[in-house]
Structure 1
């Protein structure tokens, strides 16, 4: 019997399947490896041949023939664009989080260095500000002395991570916030400090009417108060400053790129991170929202390496397949339970291919765009985001106890580094990889699923609307289909009228 090697070189991965030719093709083995040198390159051909030979040797087989569809690479570049920060006029959010806080109150006053508290007007409210050279004992002592001398100290800010240590030594109940850029604050006209304990959110700094009142804002500045209040929702502490005038040199305005239309729209896929956060109902400040990520598709640069080159590398005759899309569809339709009219969607690293019986549409924006969105939103490396995006995470409760996204706890065979306690961990080849401490497991789950709906699900929906608007069945194949959450993400985006499943070629792959 003839042993065939089916070779598929993609933008991100290369797959090889070994089959025995008989009445029907009998699948014997399969393997996958990252594409080397880029799709369409000679290096990619050599890598595919090496994978095929290694797979055959592992299973004691000899390859007689091969089938291959040479296709040029789809160049899909991905980039991040930071959008203009919303204007807040004379108001500035100095901080909306801190390593530690103390007190449960709000105070508004003029910022004053702790060493000058004894020189201020006793009638005016002041916020005591301590730079890094002031330890917690000296800060508490200076504030206690000022209060005893009749000064109206309403809050304490310190640059060191010592809020609780300062608060425990104060004779008056004051809000205390640490990790603050004190030198910058001292130039402000007025400072508002609010700290809430337990599960209580901010009450005053999230009220635009209160902000307008205590800061004496003019009518045309009320919109600035609304912006500040909106940004502080979900915070447990915050410090807001009022400057005497608006900044003389405002940050440069970065225009938002225009959304392409017509034919150009098929070559660009834009995702606003604010839209992902809104769908996930993310806490303010837990993820980056002031950016967008986009994938843009370019044309081919040179003819791809062909079947003849693969034949030389393998030392066997290679049958050239004229249409990669048609081959993908033929293979996908061998999935048990699938009907002929189903739309096959190949989710790769750079593109989403939507294939029907008579047409194929290639859209940029797939796995690589999801990686970029994750890295940007969490402010982590792309390598960490590549693993984090794929699956559920666990939270390190202790060095040997983790909790998954469903609330189930389990003990680890090997303890993790104590510095990872409280972090979210994802599976990587080296073990559990910590990637963020800014979100809980349930928050990360909501954001991750929302990102997959918008990045992958949105692109699939866009393609189906163009080539098969009446489709009732979608079959996902390709490297992206190995993501267990992708079926859910695409199904939720397409709605209940469309059945979504994953390819199972010949009932085996």
Structure 2
């Protein structure tokens, strides 16, 4: 009996399929396994993940890896994703010229304008002048309230800025109601004697004056030039419940603007497109360029630096020279990215328009043969590079019950989307395009301002709910789920992700509706757009109506909402679309690894 392994190296996972050719020539599929891909797809570090997946698959049939006669690898093209901002205006502010803030537990309501003074210096205050009092952690809320009440009859105190999270505790002890902003971590940076404006909105509403450049100008008496300069701060406070903006007229303010830049497409047509034009115009230029040999960016611009960084990164991991690295496809999507405002007290950000880009990076010599050689050396098993990813996926998809030729497949992985049409006469049309699951994760992380890519991945994979009591939660679709046992109090009031067998709490304070909007929008921008782009490329006459049915394979086909999104989008072209079920057992996974074994049988038969 001859044992053969098919190995599919993906951006996220490495999948293995084991088959046996018996002495009578009969073929059987025996087992499969998958492991996380180690290193960048298509590079030598992949060997560790391949060996782990092979070991697991062989253990399931109680055989050592050395019993394999042949390992067949797919041709893996690495895909690297990054983002490029359309416009970045970094306002560098010294002496805290303008500061925005958004604590989550303010007290009181309304606006207040006055000179800043620290609590310990209230004795220096002058009658007739309006003050905003800053209170550091050295005072307890009881001490702060007592001292304020002592001076309230003499001084015109309009509002408070607290370092501690104690706004409500202080308010309850004051003899006069006023807006109070708390949780100002770096309160010692506040410049005493400068003019400040604070605003606290009523529950359920957001600030109006300090989220409006002209509102800030009205409260602080700014001229037109100063009003333009504080626009990023006003933008950062949109939708916030409380804010403080401080004016220091002698502050040094300058703008450092790095141009967004142009993308240069070298293809059947050489084209240039400015990234400021947005994703739609960029993708139209990519389509018009035809088959692309390379993509570069304008020097000393955002997109130029980004594309250069991608190429240099690939050259390093692949051990290639810089001039051997080519970008052969990109997927651009419009997004928003948080840009931190320099000089802020609490890391305030404003959302700036950006373009997210996934780039397909290839070397002149695809390093797959190096991987095959390393496997032979370490495992003492013959290894060969066997087939194009999309073709192998088509062969594997044919094992889905209920399919027939002609058959189109969409293989949606972590970094790329492959499509192929397999005709009854055996001819195959394929395309390999940048952009899939990793770009979606990047967009979710960027738009939600998440500190962790892991959280973004989890948001992409799992549905959500909000724990509204210890015995029920509201699901993202509006339904209520009740529990016979009490929910862990740690989850109360939080948005949670409903992973299999557990709840994952989202630490960031982001409304569930906002997370849902960003998640679904990111998936539509990447998966739906790329699927239609890929299918149109391989369709006879570039007409989607010439494709009768599509089988979805790859890791992203397991997603709980992407297949339904694609079914809805492709239904207008009367295309039957659904998840594959490879070999009737594997679901949409393992298509390429299975196809690698089937292609070997075909080659053997032809031979």
Please give the range of the TM-score, normalised by the shorter of the 2 chains. 0.7 to 0.9
- d(CA) in 2 for partners of 1:219, 1:44: 60
134-143 vs 262-271, which moves further: 262-271
- d(CA) in 2 for partners of 1:88, 1:497: 51
- d(CA) in 2 for partners of 1:94, 1:26: 66
Aligned pair 1:124/2:129, yes or no? Answer: yes
Q: Which residue of 2 aligns with 1:295?
A: 358
- d(CA) in 1 for partners of 2:19, 2:338: 43
Q: CA deviation at 1:80?
A: 5.3
Q: Which residue of 1 aligns with 2:260?
A: 256
Q: CA deviation at 1:305?
A: 5.9
2:103 aligned to 83, 92, 98, which one?
A: 98
Q: CA deviation at 1:246?
A: 4.9
Aligned pair 1:387/2:442, yes or no? Answer: no
Aligned pair 1:160/2:164, yes or no? Answer: yes
Aligned pair 1:439/2:510, yes or no? Answer: yes
Instruction: Report 1:207-286 matches (<5 A).
Output: 207-224=212-229, 227-248=232-253, 250=254, 252-256=256-260, 258-261=262-265, 262=289, 263=292, 264=295, 266-271=328-333, 273-274=335-336
In structure 2, the residue corresponding to 1:304 is in which secondary structure? helix
Number of residues paired by the alignment?
A: 494
1:312-333 CA distance string (max 9 Å, x none): 9999999974433212113324
Unpaired runs of at least 5, structure 2: 266-288, 296-326, 340-347, 423-427, 588-607
Q: Which residue of 2 aligns with 1:330?
A: 395
The TM-score normalised by the length of structure 1 is: 0.80
374-383 vs 124-133, which moves further: 374-383
1:109-158 CA distance string (max 9 Å, x none): 12122233343333232211112212222322232233211x22111111
- d(CA) in 1 for partners of 2:37, 2:2: 27
- d(CA) in 2 for partners of 1:292, 1:46: 38
- d(CA) in 2 for partners of 1:204, 1:45: 59
Q: Please say if residues 77 and 295 of structure 1, whose CA atoms lie closer than 8 Å, have aligned partners that are also in contact.
A: yes
Query: Does the C-alpha gap of structure 1 residues 341 and 274 become closer, same or farther in structure 2, counting only changes over 3 Å?
Result: farther
Instruction: Report 1:101-180 matches (<5 A).
Output: 101-149=106-154, 151-180=155-184
Query: Does the C-alpha gap of structure 1 residues 118 and 373 become closer, same or farther in structure 2, counting only changes over 3 Å?
Result: same
In structure 1, the residue corresponding to 2:433 is in which secondary structure? strand
Query: Does the C-alpha gap of structure 1 residues 400 and 91 become closer, same or farther in structure 2, counting only changes over 3 Å?
Result: farther
Instruction: Report 1:56-95 matches (<5 A).
Output: 56-57=61-62, 68-71=72-75, 73-79=76-82, 84-85=88-89, 87=91, 92-95=98-101
Q: CA deviation at 1:168?
A: 0.5
Q: Which residue of 1 aligns with 2:440?
A: 370
Query: Does the C-alpha gap of structure 1 residues 319 and 153 become closer, same or farther in structure 2, counting only changes over 3 Å?
Result: closer
1:399-419 CA distance string (max 9 Å, x none): 775543234234386864x55
In structure 2, the residue corresponding to 1:204 is in which secondary structure? coil
336-345 vs 139-148, which moves further: 336-345
1:152-205 CA distance string (max 9 Å, x none): 211111111110111011111100111123333325732111112321222322
In structure 1, the residue corresponding to 2:139 is in which secondary structure? coil
Q: CA deviation at 1:374?
A: 3.5
Q: Which residue of 1 aligns with 2:8?
A: 8
1:339-383 CA distance string (max 9 Å, x none): 745642211222222323443322233223333334444423233
Q: CA deviation at 1:290?
A: 7.3
Query: Does the C-alpha gap of structure 1 residues 111 and 491 become closer, same or farther in structure 2, counting only changes over 3 Å?
Result: farther
Q: CA deviation at 1:254?
A: 4.3
- d(CA) in 1 for partners of 2:565, 2:264: 25
Q: Which residue of 1 aligns with 2:210?
A: 205
Unpaired runs of at least 5, structure 1: 278-284
1:438-489 CA distance string (max 9 Å, x none): 1133322221111222233333344345444422454321122111222244
- d(CA) in 1 for partners of 2:511, 2:440: 20
